[in-house]
Amino acid sequence: MNRTSLSIVFSLSLIACGTAFAADTAKTDPANVTVAFEHPDKFTDVKDGYMATDKGRDGILDDIKEYVIDRGGSYLKKGMRLDVTFTDIDLAGDFEPQLGPRFSDVRIMKDTYPPRLDIQFKITDADGKVLSEGKRELTDLDYLRRLILPSSDPLRYEKDLLNDWLREEIRSAGKARH
């Protein structure tokens, strides 16, 4: 193939991907997903630095909430509803101020600091029938051994946990309805 042919194929691929993405996004109904945080001020670790701020915590929780609404909505079938309440969050990594003042706001990733998300949830169908509900403690002890993109997202490990859980839980609930 010459450059012109490759360019055309690449352009058509981008258009196809964009169309598929737009179609996938169009089916997402954020009104079918609710996210709550139960006593977030008591969560194990939702800190933006060693000396945590309320603004930092709220920003992290907003990011998690938006992610669950977006991803959860994309997995739900028409008429299904998802309600999620976070009861505790322990972000991946931790702050180690003993490394010196330059590291007081650097989250250090080690095997001993895996992400953990404690949630309560309920998935219902269009008639309000409960398809699945319960409590889950999501964690990944091998989080450092997985390639998770984008690597620049500070919540990539938590989002990966949530994405795996949402996909499997909603898929199972959808099958239970038939």
pLDDT tens string for the chain (178 positions)? 555 444 444 444 444 444 444 444 444 456 799 999 999 999 999 998 888 888 999 999 999 999 999 999 999 999 999 999 999 999 999 998 788 777 778 898 999 999 999 999 999 999 999 999 999 999 999 999 988 888 889 999 999 999 999 999 998 887 754 4
CA-CA-CA-CA dihedral for 6, 11, 16, 22, to nearest 10: 150
Length of the chain: 178
Domain spans in the chain, listed from the N-terminal domain onward: 28-176
Other CB atoms within a 10 A radius of the CB of residue 148 amount to: 15
The pLDDT assigned to 29 comes to: 56
The pLDDT assigned to 25 comes to: 42
